[in-house]
Structure 1
Amino acid sequence: MGGALTRYRVIAWIVGVALAVLVLIGMPLKYGFDNPTVVAVVGTAHGWLYMLYLAATFDLSRRADWPLKRMLLVMLAGTVPFVSFYAERRVTHWLAPEQPRTPEPVAG
């Protein structure tokens, strides 16, 4: 499942960055300065990347045996700006193996 988690994490960040660029840069340029270039390019790229995000999420959810509701909520995270970053952290927390914690040395 490690490969599926890594693929999901990478595409979640890429989709999140593309959506942030689209909303924070592209939309103001389009509607404030009548320049739709960024929206046309990044919007199209985000659409294709979101399809990869859906496939990676579906693959990971099947491997992790998630309930349908969790899978759908994680899939929707790629449609709201910045939520894919939050979802990626939550998914990583759910699925990453527990790391043994070593105690910090005490200064004495």
Structure 2
Amino acid sequence: MVNLFRITAFLEGVSLLLLLFIAMPLKYIWDSPYMVQKVGMAHGILFIAYIVFAFLIKNELKWSNKTLFFVCIASIIPFGTFVMEKKLKREIS
């Protein structure tokens, strides 16, 4: 389950960066909303999966509520899930 969370964290981070730095400029600068629709949907699904997996592995990794809070906050900060995934990799190694 932890490996699935790590993969989801990486993909969620990539989707957020694509949304913020590629899709949004395409929509608001070049008036092309297509990428926002596609990347936005993928990001939404990955965001929900990230949060669900965080709650599911909380007990497995013996996270405190504070740690879970920071893991969840990392999902809304650009590059946050990459930092969290790296820390998680160190924690389980």
- TM-score band, normalised by shorter chain: over 0.9
| 2:83 paired residue among 74, 86, 103 | 86
Q: Deviations over 1:52-102 (max 9, x none)?
A: 111111112121111001011111211111111011001111222xxxxxx
- What corresponds to 2:52 in structure 1? 55
Matched, 1:22 2:28: no
Percentage of identical aligned residues: 33
Instruction: Give the TM-score, by structure 2 length.
Output: 0.92
Q: Is the 8 A contact 1:57 1:71 kept in 2?
A: yes
- What corresponds to 1:43 in structure 2? 40
Please give the root-mean-square deviation of Cα atoms over the aligned residues, in Å: 1.0
Aligned residues: 93
Structure 1: 4+ residue segments shifted above 6 A: none
Listed as ranges, the gaps of 5+ residues in structure 2 are: none
Matched, 1:77 2:65: no
- Secondary structure of 1:33's counterpart equals coil
Structure (1 or 2) with the larger CA radius of gyration: 1
- Secondary structure of 1:59's counterpart equals helix
Name the CA distance, whole Å, in 1 between partners of 2:89 and 2:17. 21
Instruction: Give the TM-score, by structure 1 length.
Output: 0.80
